[in-house]
Amino acid sequence: MKKRLFRWLLWILILTGILAAVAVFSLCVGSVRIPFREIISLFLQEGSNIEHSIVFGIRLPRILLGLAVGGALSIAGVILQGLFRNPLVEPYTLGISGGAALGVCLNIVLRLSNTLGILTLPISGFLGAITVIFAVYILSLRKGILKIQGLLLTGVMISFICSSLIMLTMAVSRTEDLHGIIFWTMGSLETPQWFLIKIALAISLSGLIISYLFSIDLNAFSLGEEEALHLGVNTERSKRLLFILASLLTGCSVSVAGIIGFVGLVVPHLMRMLVGADHRILLIASYLSGAAFLILCDTLARTIIAPMELPVGVVTGIIGGALFVYALTRHQLIPLGGE
């Protein structure tokens, strides 16, 4: 037991160090390179020069948002893969991202953000996500029992419906609105709203804490729903709360940063390969590594073709897909359910 706890603590320290190193690297590089010593001096003293504006006005907000969104999507992926016992399930499988994207598309087409303010974009996205969550939950409920397979199939179908409605909206939208819709659906951490960043951080960290309270239940679910029930887990309560938690984390992330793929799919698998399938360490490890992965991808997105910027979803898709294929071809993916 002590040996396992020591190994877990060691992994947490290593991943925390990697996250800190990636954050520092992201602060230093860009169109304007800022030495590490100057970064330290900027944090120790007040200033109003260009470097101070770049660090605290552009790079630091993106790092904090990357931490919140990357961590939230990763633990949402861990929860859903453990709940469904399916290695291909990710936060976007249930149609939550489609609902959020549809809400934002309607906002852009109706030009609500021009009249009511830029904050209506994430609000529209979150309302769209909540609508899909409610629909999937109600449609999957049978006589007070939440059917896991029905939940998955319903979510996939609603995701297809939302995608079709988004394409319809894009087909009839103005040319100037089309660019905004396409860029948003590719994902971006570029937001000047500290209010949104603070909310995303609070929800993300709260989600990590709450999900950790269900780590034993998730370990039991890996054996199967019937076995979890025999082990004393209140399966219906846990299924509902875990589904709602993962959905809210995904909805919040998508509404703030757009659709950023592969984080919730790849990171949990890689962490299972490194730290094991025990959710008591897997949740924390996935949160830290997901945050580091997204911050690194965002740094690459804004520096590869600087001063132009790529959508971060493009970078996560390329790198995440390559990592997933590599792990799959090397036969290192750990099957779920203890097979």
pLDDT digits (tens, 9 = 90+) for 93-118: 888 888 888 888 888 888 777 777 76
Tell me which residue of 103, 320, 306, 61 sits closest to 188, measured CA to CA.
61
How far is Cα of residue 243 from the mean position of the Cα atoms in its chain? 15
Enumerate residues 6+ apart whose C-beta is below 8 A from 142.
150
Judge whether 223 lies within some domain: yes
Q: What is the pLDDT of residue 296?
A: 95
pLDDT in tens, 219-252: 998 888 888 888 888 888 898 899 889 988 998 8
Tell me which residue of 42, 29, 103 sits closest to 300, measured CA to CA.
29
Q: What is the pLDDT of residue 122?
A: 84
Judge whether 336 lies within some domain: no
Compute the half-sphere exposure of residue 22: CA atoms within 13 Å on the CB side of its CA. Answer: 24
What domain range is 281 assigned to?
Answer: 2-329
Judge whether 337 lies within some domain: no
Judge whether 339 lies within some domain: no
Taking the alpha carbons of 258, 261, 265, 270 in that order, is the dihedral positive or negative?
Answer: negative
Q: What is the pLDDT of residue 338?
A: 45
Judge whether 334 lies within some domain: no
* Cα separation, 132 vs 148, whole angstroms: 16
Enumerate residues 6+ apart whose C-beta is below 8 A from 159.
92, 93, 94, 95, 97, 98
Judge whether 241 lies within some domain: yes
* Cα separation, 16 vs 66, whole angstroms: 15
Q: What is the pLDDT of residue 182?
A: 80
Judge whether 165 lies within some domain: yes
- Number of structural domains in the chain: 1
Tell me which residue of 31, 11, 9, 29 sits closest to 19, measured CA to CA.
11
- If you ran DSSP here, which 8-state letter would residue 145 be given? E
Judge whether 37 lies within some domain: yes
Q: What is the pLDDT of residue 47?
A: 59
Q: What is the pLDDT of residue 7?
A: 92
Give pLDDT < 70 ranges for the chain.
46-48, 118, 143, 191-192, 330-339
Q: What is the pLDDT of residue 76?
A: 93
Whichever domain contains 124, its CATH number is: 1.10.3470.10
Q: Which two tokens stand for residue 48?
A: 């109003």
